[in-house]
Amino acid sequence: MTLEEDNGPEPGGDDLFAAEYVLGVLAADEREIASRRIDADAAFARLVDAWEAHLSPMAGAYPETEPPIRVKEAIDRQLFVAEPRAGLWSSLAFWRGLAAASVAALAITIAVPYLNPPVEQPRLVASLAADGSDVRYLAVYDAAHREVGLSHVSGERAAGKDFELWMIEGKNAPVSIGVIPAGQTAHMTISPAVQEKLARGAVLAVSLEPAGGSPTGQPTGPVVAAGDLKSI
């Protein structure tokens, strides 16, 4: 990773091409080439991913702006109408946005399950929230990596307190997955026993605990966020 890399035409070529794609400076035709390579070339996709991870903290500068309700209504019509085809056919915006690259991506998305039949791992998502609390997490359960990825959306822990993540299945006592590390995102590894229950769609909950986690093994503080895992 020296500056020599951008002098020669090829050394560092893919790495810099990935960086330029992520930065967003490429022209339309170059972006299309990059986008096809992401779909077809796993090594290139990893380079892109690494650059996305490097640069993503800059996205903190994007302000949140509530979109008008008509956007959600249009999406619902497109995704959830009984005959989704009718929704797609009638959406001008959809066809306009469906560039050649998207068609290629779509074709690969459809083809991949047939090429790799054994690895259809469940992916579950939960939005964790509760009335009277501003704590929000987005949780994604990744069975393949045996972990729960948490993205902190809002709400701060009080001084000297920690958030702890629990798995609750039916009427059974909550099982601790662990204290959630501070920060924007966290990856928490889960035990095989918990994994089995998560795959069936257990509830995830976040409680406020003394620093270091519940001393009793059961939640001692208020549940500040909870949600069902649903498949996506």
Partner 1 sequence: MKDRAAFDLLYRQTSAKLFGVCLRVLKDRGEAEEALQEVFVKIWTKADRFAVSDLSPISWLVAIARNHAIDRIRARREPAAYIDAALEVADPAPGPEAAAVAGGESERIYRCLDELEKDRAAAVRGAYLDGESYAELAARHDVPLNTMRTWLRRSLLKLRECLER
Site for partner 1 in 172-191 (CB under 8 A): 183-185
Q: How far is the CB of 173 from partner 1 (least distance, A)?
A: 25
Span 9-28, contacts to partner 1 by CB under 8 A: 12, 16, 19-20, 22-28
Q: How far is the CB of 38 from partner 1 (least distance, A)?
A: 9
Q: Which of 41, 49, 134, 196 is in the footprint of partner 1 by CB under 8 A?
A: 49
Q: How far is the CB of 214 from partner 1 (least distance, A)?
A: 25
* Count of residues near partner 1 by CB under 8 A: 81
- Give me 226's structure tokens: 């909870």
Judged by CB under 8 A, the stretch of 44-52, 157-165, 192-200, 218-226 that binds partner 1 is 44-52
Q: Does 50 contact partner 1 by CB under 8 A?
A: yes
Tell me 129's DSSP state: B
- Give me 92's structure tokens: 């001008």
Residue 2: how many other CB atoms lie within 10 Å:
8
List of E strands, the chain:
123-128, 136-142, 147-154, 161-168, 175-179, 185-189, 203-210, 223-228, 230-231
Q: Does 60 contact partner 1 by CB under 8 A?
A: yes
Q: Does 200 contact partner 1 by CB under 8 A?
A: no
Q: Which of 33, 36, 104, 105 is in the footprint of partner 1 by CB under 8 A?
A: 105
> CA quadruple 31, 32, 34, 39: dihedral positive or negative?
positive
Q: Which of 52, 104, 168, 188 is in the footprint of partner 1 by CB under 8 A?
A: 52
- The residues with which 138 forms a beta bridge, in sequence order, are 127, 151
Residue with tokens 């995102």: 185
> What's the Rg (C-alpha) of the chain?
22
Smallest CA-to-CA distance from 223 within 173, 178, 166 is with: 166
Contact 141, 187 (CB under 8 A): no
CB closer to partner 1 out of 75 and 86: 75
Judged by CB under 8 A, the stretch of 88-96, 157-165, 189-197, 202-210 that binds partner 1 is 88-96
- The residues with which 187 forms a beta bridge, in sequence order, are 149
Binding string to partner 1 for residues 120 to 159, with x set by CB under 8 A, is what? -x-x-xxx-x------x-x-x-x-x----x-x-x------
Contact 184, 153 (CB under 8 A): no
Q: Which of 36, 94, 161, 221 is in the footprint of partner 1 by CB under 8 A?
A: 94
Contact 94, 88 (CB under 8 A): yes
Judged by CB under 8 A, the stretch of 69-77, 170-178, 191-199, 204-212 that binds partner 1 is 69-77
Q: How far is the CB of 18 from partner 1 (least distance, A)?
A: 10
